[in-house]
Amino acid sequence: MQIAVIGSGDAVIGFTLAGVRKAYEATTQEELISKIETVMADPEVGIVVLSQGDFNNLPSRLRGTLTESVKPTVIAIGTEQSTEMREKIKRAIGVDLWK
């Protein structure tokens, strides 16, 4: 399983330097949606990382699909605090790690 990151140039560069090989830069909404669809269809990807801002700006139907996806698991990171990651981990492995 591999990690994929999709987003702005700065985020992609940071993850690439950290060793993530599947890093895709998307500067427009259309590019972002296209890259997400490509990565979601890739059987090697187990985790998809997006910025919280990009995730929030996606169409609601796509956001719902990404939220419900277990493989790959989609994680939105950023400064906004959320219990989303906790729920995704619980759903993926069946255990609440925070208890």
The string of pLDDT tens digits covering residues 10-40 is: 878 888 988 999 999 999 999 999 999 999 9
Q: Which residues in 8-60 belong to E strands, given as ranges? A: 22-25, 45-51
Instruction: Give the list of residues 6+ apart from residue 44 with CB closer than 8 angstroms, or none.
Output: 1, 2, 22
Query: Which one of 3.40.50.10580, 3.40.50.11060, 3.40.50.10540, 1.10.1040.10 gives the CATH number of domain 2-93?
Result: 3.40.50.10580
What is the sign, positive or negative, of the torsion defined by CA atoms of 19, 41, 80, 90?
negative
pTM: 0.78
pLDDT digits (tens, 9 = 90+) for 57-92: 999 999 999 988 888 999 888 765 556 666 766 776
